[in-house]
Structure 1
């Protein structure tokens, strides 16, 4: 006689069931669905350049499609010529010298982040995660068996954490500190002095540092990108860099990222990838090779447009009563505080969180933004300014008009 399956039996594993959907992709998908239905939605959700991938990169991919060499399996860790080019590009752009054997090519930055954490974390290891954080970081840490420990910064410090805050969060189980500059979602950039202080603190305590350099070329004004292992050479043996072509070259859909790390970590992460996905698409790898081997003229033009949009968005957001938006120094996001608007009446409703406020904005004026809860800090909204100037002005104007109706 077969026993009945208990109704409480879990069909999805606890590990996977605990993962939240990417909030940024969810907002973007909803905005695109509404657009497809004919609604005049403007989406500030996804961090995706609105520019096409430069022609010379596309042409390299077209040629790769015709070459039978790329119709077959290639090494799981990446095309040797691409790994060598990434090492050369890293020296060119940040002054950090690495060997091709220290590079793993991944299916986008997300796989790079997960595999990096998976390669160094054991169950229960703690990772200090400055918040606001990009949604994928804590989920990747949990998937790898680690424990994210949040350290929160707010608008009063430009969303930058201090060494004192990091030290207060350090325990005997701390293994890694996450360092992201320029930041998604805030656009904050650490000064060279502050970055060096954090790196020296990590080195003093024997911690690993995972640093995400995906926005290295998108800095504005007086801000300057600096690579942590260059500032603090003592970190070299315990530093992991993740990066990719998505933001710099408008290649979000091509899905090519990479990990730079000590060789034993790269070997372990490559073994993992050999079972998870094998090689990244050869066509995309050849496109990435053209991108990292070429000049930075295309990104200079995109950066000029982003800078203009950045200034317009921040000015317009700060014109709204109850909104305060620090000026982002990098990436392509604004992260305004809307805490003063929570609980106020807007068109007969009183949003009690930034989640509810974001939903109200979408429902009432058809503008999609991402609430701060997605990034670990309720009371904020993230808006990407990687979209056309006209849409940007129209979208923020709609928000201005709506929030001008707020009353106690």
Structure 2
């Protein structure tokens, strides 16, 4: 009898934790997704389609893995990956070539499940170089709030003030609350200008694009997207879950994320992966004292992502109607923590610091050679410098 009375409360905790996981994950970084997709050539409708597709795939992936393995596994979109897109810019072949790059990246994720040596090869990339590349990619996005503050202080200042106060009082909700401040700014702007949103643009819709392949899309988008997704999301995701007492079923997880990425690609979705930061919310002790009951959080997170996906067109419309600088400010503050972590890991080892610095500077430069983005050249430059510096050295005993 007592057990029956406690069960509903016990079930409610992981369900709420999962919904919080999805709400925080979605509202904190959806602006980065839309920014990245628009930067590489997507129209507003195609970017909204990409957000919808990636949200649906994330939701279904969470439900499948959590239900099947009774583990609070969470799937997320690749935030570092879409930040990479924002730093890449347009590529030869336009949006169809970008979609082709997404498909190649998805195929490579699938290959890590089917051919373990590929995953081992990615693991051999020094973490300092991988994180330095990520930090260089994130730098322009993290600078955007301060540039916007100078250009449009009345629009951007409320976002930054709310973010700062919330970071002190409710850190987990700092970015979502900053987004709410942005919505208020947009509403005031629409009231002032008298611009009305087209109701048709608020309906979720998938727009499919026939993919094409170019050298720039494969080398400049697919390979860096694959590397940054694996090194900055999947590997840390496994580590976070292990620290909480769970063992991720690697091959099934890569099959689900690889197939999900492929399904979302032609609709504009870039990549999905294991949750890392969000995993700690759904799989941590706050979700439930009993680790065996936390799996419900993964299911509820998936359900909430499906609901939020249905609202993706409305979120995209807000971004489209916002004054310049407001949404980049939200995207920028959402990436501050990721940037700080990447910089710390890049320069943590003094022996790896110089290759990491070279990698960071090349990535931050934004250079593109032969239609290939800076992210690839940053990775290549860092590995070359590291190889030269370590040539002939004996490994430490």
Same fold, TM-score > 0.5, yes or no? no
TM-score (norm 1): 0.26
Greater strand share, structure number: 1
TM-score (norm 2): 0.27
Greater helix share, structure number: 2
Greater relative contact order (Cα 8 A, min sep 6): structure 1 or 2?
2
